[in-house]
A and B are shown apart, each in its own frame.
Chain A
Amino acid sequence: MNARKQLMDGLFYQNPVTVQLLGMCSTMAITTTLFNGLGMGVSVLVILTLANIIIAALRKIIPNNIRIACFIVVIAGFVTIVDLMLQAFVPALSASLGLFIPLIVVNCIILGRAESFAYKNGIGASAMDGIFQGLGYTMILVIMCVIREFLGNGTIMGGLLEIGKDGNLIFGLGTAAGIRILPESIPALGMILPVGGFITLAVLIAAMQYILNKPKKGEKKTEEVAK
């Protein structure tokens, strides 16, 4: 397996969210501040990579008929580990993501990659796949967060940085209010409500479709000839 091709697939051509259309619940639900998005992205990346490794290692032992149940047990185990670790070390993230951490169990990205990649490929390739697909997911989350936070709240870097009274940047994990760019009266609150999630994701997917389907010059000509 070509690592470079896997990276490009994970980020663009086979991006889990915008091309494979998986894992949309969390993508829309938690992308209100950069802190949430990054935290969720990294959690999924870790779980996806670990689950891929274990499933690839056990792929010859797991019987075909009950493979989905086996995948779910492996994934649920890792989700529980990450959930407990977050509660212990980053309680702010655990509090703000809430229900969506245990719900990573049913995040279709992880089950989807286990079924379509890790069950058929070696450990090394599966680990790479987990990392790159996780990066693709994190990338979309971060883009969504930046757009929604800026338009809906008028700030950037929410939950990570804020400007203190003396003008210095203060780093506050989960507590910082973000750097205010727009005055408070301008932002559209709707963007951080569910409506904004649907619309931002729709525009992102449309942009991705536009870029990926844009015919190159040679192709366009043949298309016109065909018409």
Chain B
Amino acid sequence: MDWANLFTVALGAILVNNFIVAQFLGICPFMGVSKKVETASGMGLAVIFVMGLASAICWPINELILVPLGLTFMQTVTYILVIAALVQFIEMFLKKSMPSLYEALGVYLPLITTNCAVLGVVLQNTQNSYDFITSVVYGVTGGIGFLLVIVIFASIRERMEFSKCPKAFEGFPIALMAAGLVALAFMGFSGLKVFG
């Protein structure tokens, strides 16, 4: 196994090609549930979980079913169904066996189905033809990058609550501006190369 390669993929997913600020995936939950640090971190944890699992499940489905049958054009449909079913299944499983975690994640679990970061990570795994382990690492670290940015952004937003801004910018636009500045900060990582 190529540890250096895995490390590069992980670092890329967390910092350099961060899902939110560099690739624009998962903006809706990013803007929607980032008003408080607690809810933001709950959402981030749920996303790590689902992105990792979705990567792990979609890889064998693609390699063992879709590719041998020549059905690769059905990828989008299959993946979204797998993700929807997976989210539903996780919800039922957590409700039965880990009620405390279930309550902590609350309404954010069902919302993840339409999070484009999850579908995005699965599609990217296929496009980059990652092997199984790389796919899972990419999924989990992508989720960690999501958690990192959403928590940073939520703490900025908590501070912003009480500061004055022009009336037209109140609420959503000023939050977008702040997100732009977070993106600008993360651009600093864009030249980062570890090996080679």
Contacts and interface: CB of A to CB of B under 8 A. Distances in A.
A joins B in a complex: yes
Contacts of A199: 176-177, 180
A194 B22 contact: yes
Nearest to B119: A106
Contact of B168 (A103, A193, A201, A206): A206
Contacts of B100: none
Nearest to A105: B80
B177 A103 contact: no
A99 B22 contact: no
How many chain A residues sit at the interface, stated as a range, is 35 or more
Given A99-B120, A111-B114, A201-B176, A80 B80 contact: no
Given A69-B84, A99-B127, A198-B179, A80 B74 contact: yes
Contact of B80 (A72, A195, A210): A72
Interface in A169-207: 190, 193-199, 201-203, 205-207
A120 B74 CA distance: 29
A99 B124 contact: yes
Contacts, number: 115
A108 B114 contact: yes
Interface residues of B, number: 43
Interface in A54-83: 68-69, 72-73, 76-77, 79-80, 83
Interface stretch (B25-33, B138-146, B154-162): B25-33
Contacts of A69: 81, 84
Nearest to A69: B84
B183 interface: yes
A209 B127 contact: no
Nearest to A102: B76
B187 interface: yes
A106 to B, nearest CB: 5
A143 interface: no
Nearest to A29: B24
Question: Dominant SS at the B interface?
Answer: helix
B86 to A, nearest CB: 13
A70 B25 CA distance: 24
Interface in B32-68: none
B174 interface: yes
Contacts of A1: none
Of the candidates A72, A80, A202, A209, the one having the most CB atoms from chain B within 10 angstroms of its own CB is A202
B24 A28 contact: yes
Contact of A195 (B123, B169, B187): B187
Interface of B: 21-28, 31, 73-77, 80-81, 84, 113-116, 119-120, 123-124, 127, 166-174, 176-177, 179-181, 183-184, 187
25 contacts: A25-B24, A28-B27, A29-B23, A68-B84, A69-B84, A76-B76, A76-B80, A80-B77, A83-B76, A103-B25, A103-B119, A103-B120, A106-B119, A194-B21, A194-B180, A194-B183, A194-B187, A195-B183, A196-B180, A197-B180, A199-B177, A202-B180, A205-B172, A206-B166, A209-B170
Interface of A: 21-22, 24-26, 28-29, 68-69, 72-73, 76-77, 79-80, 83-84, 99, 102-103, 105-108, 111, 190, 193-199, 201-203, 205-207, 209-210, 213
Given A73-B77, A99-B120, A206-B166, 5 more contacts: A25-B27, A76-B76, A198-B177, A198-B179, A210-B167
10 closest Cβ contacts across the A-B interface?
A198-B180, A29-B24, A202-B176, A210-B168, A206-B173, A76-B77, A202-B173, A102-B76, A199-B180, A194-B183
